[in-house]
Structure 1
Amino acid sequence: MNIDQDVRFGAFVFTSRYEGQSAGEVLARGVATALAAEAAGFDDIWVTEHHFVPFGVNPSALTFAGYLLGCTSRVRVGTAVVVLPLHAPVHVAEQAALLDHLSGGRFDLGVGRAQPVVDYEVIGRGVEYWRTGLPEALDLTLAALSGSVRADSELYRFREVTPQPGPAAGTPVYLAANSAASVRLAATRGLPMLLFFDKDADAKAEMIAEHAHAAEAAGHPGTGYPHGMAVFTHVTDDADEARSVMRRSATEFVRASRQYQLLLDVPQRVDPGMPESLAVDRVAEAALANHPVGSVHSCVERLVEQVCRSGCRRVLCQVEVSGDHDSVLANVRRLGQEVLPEVRRRLAAR
């Protein structure tokens, strides 16, 4: 798999809607953010997929990625993530190959299964695809990215076909991992992981160590994977602004988490029994304590620390945490001009 091993910094365009904003305003901000990130020197753009919750208004990671690839010329664009069991995996592979061909090899395919929510009832083919469908869907996607593919199982059954437009130069595939099972799945397929905001650097390092052990046991290299991690990033010289920005983002995150319509009883990122104000405080304070939010110096120090302690080589910077169009674009510019050059210099010196 042809993936650059250098540390790369991407703008994570979450298309987060804050109170009083229309979907059109959020999507326009997302496009503007991506263009500003390319101009500011970011290496990558990453986009999400969400359904039936107002916080994330982009329901198609592949469509948005395709649009941004057409709007940009230098950055790579990746999905974080396509909720793979909701989609026909061979069709996902065809679309990924198409985007890779059309963009000259600038597309990264990140996939995962997300939570067992109503999405699997409305778009997918039932909660069983959440329970057991990801490994087979992933294998079919990987096979379809390489050539002909067929299936004969309880979940997928079709005759041999040859997906078009055919393999690109080597579309990088990442798997979102938030459990021991998903770490093993990524490792046994020889794939890098994408790790979520809620894991600190030490927890990410432990997951990468588990991945290395499982990958070697499966006959793959144990090291050399460009694992990715998501971090909140906002530059401000005002400590009160930093706290206000994170509290606003945390408020929307907590409210959105409680709007998910679950089909199964599974552990939640936000305790549903906790009072909202307390949940917001905990999310905001954890982010302020660990993520690159605050002064230029603080952002530089924390980005370097996150990369070095975790071992991740793809950094997905959630740059929209302020929720305000002008503030987001100013944040992207400051990150590109004042933070990332120094982070790259320090990493290169190590």
Structure 2
Amino acid sequence: MRIGVFLVAAGFPGREPGQVLRDTVDAVVAAERAGFDDAWIAEHHFMSYGVCPSAATLAGVALGRTTRIGLGTAVSVLSTRHPVDLAEQAAILDRVSGGRFTLGVGRGGPWVDLEVFGTGLERFEHGFPESLDLLCEALCRDEISADGEFFGFRKVPMVPAARLRPVVACTSPRTVALAAERGLPMLLGMHIGDGDKAALLREYEEVAAAPVPGARANGAAGVPISSRDRDRDASFRPAPPRHVAAAVGHVADTTEQAVRELREAMPRWLEPGLAGYVPVDGRSRPARDVPGYVDFLCRTHPVGSPGRCVEMIERTAAATGLRHLILLVEGAGDRARTLENIERLGAEVLPRIRGRARQARAGTTPG
């Protein structure tokens, strides 16, 4: 069981964005010290929900402050980026860190970002498969070229070359199918419960098991390759995907205290933060019942006493089969409380999760 932290760089009211970004890096350092496996940084533009506009850049800063912990992006928004540019950045972080970096990407939304960066609504609505395939090629090949609807250029060398497989944020059956057809691991959001996560995982397995005419997924990077290429590469072995799921993680002396803290703090962040999603074309945004959403998170995620947090993590693992969770740890909106939360999760929750996993592998029953 891998357990990481998920950092949105949340812009709680009264918190200056530059300080939030510094605190986010400090939280990664604290997570390494607390024994977490990895830390994942979110990316948002022009809004207070998250004040980090480049998850890869902030991950690079955090990699320079740490020595062991893995860093990932959750996610870099592919619809507003050139896939080759993003692949180059990922290759730098992978090479310089000694393999501690994981690139997570997502389609994003129909937000004003598309207007500002000039990528447009057409590419958002129809170009994600092409963008994803070009990214995968740039992450696994020494040379690439493109001749598609949205990208076209002559053959160029990838310098530095990488051998990475991105993780794909999946919130719909269409994106699940894209990831499954390419053998790419999924990142599942904290807005859905265990039942919905399990359903998406079943959809993935069904698509992955179906034959894809004319191509097979490359287990090293998720790029479709021909049978000729596969026969030439005797080392070809499709690697099983290691899916990741996000959840809120908040520990206190009692479950009542933990729930009270989040109910008091999170709406102050979510109400104005979610309002920052501005559609590029004037379409209406779905309304969100923020207090109800916070209640859902507290009820279904590892929020509570140490024992309650362990129980909820194990419940999710049992219900879904997931073996990699990343916990949003900044829900209280306070630097000191976030660092305390990370420390306590590391000291009071992670050892119990890992101890029970070791006992299960050994065939013994936890006491």
Same fold (TM over 0.5): yes
Match among 3, 19, 27 for residue 33 of structure 1: 27
Q: Does the Cα contact within 8 Å between 1:174 and 1:194 map onto a contact in 2?
A: yes
Match among 278, 288, 296 for residue 286 of structure 1: 296
Determine helix, strand or coil for the equivalent of 1:150: strand
- Pairwise CA RMSD of aligned residues? 1.8
Task: Give the Å deviation of 1:299.
Answer: 0.4
Q: Give the unaligned 5+ runs of structure 2.
A: 220-237, 361-367
CA distance 1:211–1:144, change in 2 (3 Å) = same
What do the CA deviations read for 1:72-116 (whole angstroms, capped 9, x no partner)?
Answer: 100110000010121110111111111100000111010011111
Q: Which residue pairs with 2:261 in the alignment?
A: 245
Q: Which residue pairs with 1:323 in the alignment?
A: 333
1:270-281 aligned within 5 A: 271-272=286-287, 279-281=289-291
1:305-344 aligned within 5 A: 305-344=315-354
Match among 237, 240, 244 for residue 224 of structure 1: 240
Match among 146, 149, 157 for residue 151 of structure 1: 146
User: With structure 1 as the length reference, what TM-score do the two structures score?
Assistant: 0.91
Q: Does the Cα contact within 8 Å between 2:49 and 2:276 map onto a contact in 1?
A: no
Q: Which residue pairs with 1:215 in the alignment?
A: 208
Asked whether 1:263 is paired with 2:280, we answer: yes
Q: Give the unaligned 5+ runs of structure 1.
A: 1-6
What do the CA deviations read for 1:314-344 (whole angstroms, capped 9, x no partner)?
Answer: 2111011111011100100000000011011
Task: Give the Å deviation of 1:48.
Answer: 0.9
* Aligned length, in residue pairs: 335
Q: Which residue pairs with 1:60 in the alignment?
A: 54
What do the CA deviations read for 1:122-154 (whole angstroms, capped 9, x no partner)?
Answer: 014111111012111111111111221111122
2:151 counterpart letter in structure 1: Y
**What is the aligned-residue identity percentage?**
40
Shift >6 Å, 4+ stretches: none
Q: Which residue pairs with 2:169 in the alignment?
A: 176
What do the CA deviations read for 1:247-300 (whole angstroms, capped 9, x no partner)?
Answer: 2214422332222111357796xx42x6xxxx2220111011101111011001
- Please identify the structure whose Cα radius of gyration is greater: 2
Asked whether 1:121 is paired with 2:131, we answer: no
User: With structure 2 as the length reference, what TM-score do the two structures score?
Assistant: 0.87
CA distance 1:73–1:53, change in 2 (3 Å) = same
Q: Which residue pairs with 1:163 in the alignment?
A: 158
Q: Which residue pairs with 1:42 in the alignment?
A: 36
Q: Which moved more, 1:37-46 or 1:219-228?
A: 219-228
